[in-house]
Amino acid sequence: MRKRSRTVALTILGAAAFTVAGCRDEQVEAQAFPDMASCEAAAAQDGLFSVEECDKAFADAEALHVESAPRYDSLQVCEEQHGAGNCGSEEQQVSNGGGMGGIFMPLMAGYLIGNMLGGRGASGMAASQPMYRNAQGGFTNASGTTNFGSNAGRATMSSQNFARPATTAGRAPMTRATAGSRGGFGGSRSSFGG
């Protein structure tokens, strides 16, 4: 009887440890770049990402920008959230002509690229997010959930920073009241090392 109790206890302990490990957020190596050329130059030096991954991640970030960037009903409201000179019309930023002139979006101010699934290559893939300026002079991701002090650098961060944001294309743009009710655009803060 004692042997069986010991086996059951070890099994329960093992299951509990697995459950707790499953609840922890996966950490990924990530790097932010102000543009594709900066990523390609870094790829040639330290190899965290290849040139091909830089190019694909930038294209993915641009597509996500068109699909999920925050949209505002006026240039003034957009600039209140992202700073003066950091916004443009949807019509100017959507290349297929699908944008509207009365809707405004922040300009893409870089992109974030990270190794998902424990690494890149056969066992993993690179994921990306567009980055935007915020009103405080820093940067934020497309969903506005994380603020960054810079749009350049490397850090280990939560895989949640790469979660796909909700689609905003075709939806009603934010007004001053709706942007204000969200407490502004952006939430938690992260930092990049040099």
Consecutive sets of 10 residues in the chain, 194 residues long: mean pLDDT of each? Answer: 46 40 72 94 85 93 94 95 94 72 92 72 69 93 88 90 90 90 51 48
Is 174 part of any domain? yes
Is 51 part of any domain? yes
pLDDT (0 to 100) of residue 184: 53
Is 150 part of any domain? yes
Q: Residue 17: enclosing H or E segment and its boundaries?
A: helix 2-23
Separation between Cα atoms, residue 139 and residue 127, nearest integer Å: 18
pLDDT (0 to 100) of residue 3: 54
pLDDT (0 to 100) of residue 77: 96
Is 20 part of any domain? no
Alpha carbon dihedral 142, 179, 84, 158, in 10-degree steps, equals -30
pTM above 0.95, yes or no: no
pLDDT (0 to 100) of residue 15: 40
Is 164 part of any domain? yes
Do β-strands 125-133 and 87-89 pair in parallel, antiparallel, or remain unpaired? unpaired
Is 2 part of any domain? no
pLDDT (0 to 100) of residue 97: 59
Indicate the number of domains in the chain: 1
Alpha carbon dihedral 54, 59, 64, 65, in 10-degree steps, equals 100
Q: Which domain holds residue 82?
A: 26-190
